[in-house]
Amino acid sequence: MDLAAEWLDRLHAEADGYARLALENIAREFPALVSALMTAPGQFPRRPRDRTPVFYGSFDWHSCVEMHWVLVRLLQACPDAVPAAGVRSALDAQFTYPGGWEPSGSDFLSPGLAEAELMARLLPAGEFGAWLGTFLPGLAAGEPGALFTPAVVSDSSDGQIAHLHGLNLSRAWCWRRLAETLPAADPRVPVCAAAARTHAEAALPHVVADHYMVTHWLAAYAVLLFS
């Protein structure tokens, strides 16, 4: 037997159990490991479901992310071997992404746009537009504004702040991918395409003509955008 086929057969054999375990974990609120900064009385405790409604399940944040990854991967690799309806329901139940929270002060990537780009690869073409409408419902109107506004890099010599040049280029790539994935007549296409250009124009001049804290890595993001 072909080695790849052998391991895929093993995955099919275990898929149902893995999927059911993941579904159980992402909806399990307790026990939960919570780390939080308190700056005044009364801020804590709050139960996990109230504090982080999207990723409240499992023991901690990384295990919840990993269980979601299990579901996505199983749905992609062997949908016939898992409770597909339950998996899709769990994935589709995610809340609207809070894009206004982006960015932090040293991001390379937009979590929201990177997730949307991933789903553009995983979902059938006819389903992606509806999923995106739930995840980022304001795109056609240019909302949330924080996702459409290139990050301002105040100090390119600061190795952390300089990451924001990469954020702008990786956002440009994600916007380009969304524009290319949606149907041509979709009103979100020109908005996404314009956002790609705006972010690219903000970052591309810095690829070869800036501080070494930028130029020692930013070309990788430019090549990603153009590829």
Rounded average pLDDT over 141-151: 97
Rounded average pLDDT over 132-136: 93
CA distance 100 to 102: 5
pLDDT, tens digit, 9 for 90 and up, residues 8-60? 898 899 999 999 999 999 889 999 887 777 788 877 667 888 877 767 788 88
Check whether residue 117 and residue 59 sit in a common domain.
Answer: no
pLDDT, tens digit, 9 for 90 and up, residues 84-93? 888 878 877 6
Q: What is the pLDDT of residue 95?
A: 65
Check whether residue 113 and residue 101 sit in a common domain.
Answer: yes
- Residue 177: closest CA among 158, 154, 200, 207: 200
Check whether residue 139 and residue 166 sit in a common domain.
Answer: yes
pLDDT at residue 139 tops 90: yes
Q: What residue spans of 97-187 are helical by DSSP H? A: 111-122, 125-135, 145-148, 163-181
Minimum mean pLDDT range among 29-33, 205-209, 219-223: 29-33
Check whether residue 147 and residue 224 sit in a common domain.
Answer: yes
Check whether residue 55 and residue 103 sit in a common domain.
Answer: no
Q: What is the pLDDT of residue 1?
A: 56
User: Pick from 60, 76, 95: which residue ends a domain?
Assistant: 95
Which two structure tokens, joined as six digits, stand for 136?
Answer: 């980022």
Check whether residue 61 and residue 105 sit in a common domain.
Answer: no
Check whether residue 6 and residue 88 sit in a common domain.
Answer: yes
Name the DSSP class of 28: -
Check whether residue 88 and residue 104 sit in a common domain.
Answer: no
Minimum mean pLDDT range among 51-65, 96-110, 130-144: 51-65
Q: What is the pLDDT of residue 94?
A: 59
> What confidence category does residue 110 fall into, taking pLDDT thresholds of 50, 70 and 90?
very high
- Phi, psi dihedrals of residue 48, rounded to the nearest 5°: -55, -40
Check whether residue 148 and residue 180 sit in a common domain.
Answer: yes
Number of domains within the chain: 2
Q: What is the pLDDT of residue 85?
A: 82
Check whether residue 100 and residue 188 sit in a common domain.
Answer: yes
**Domain assignment of residue 78, given as a range:** 1-35+44-95
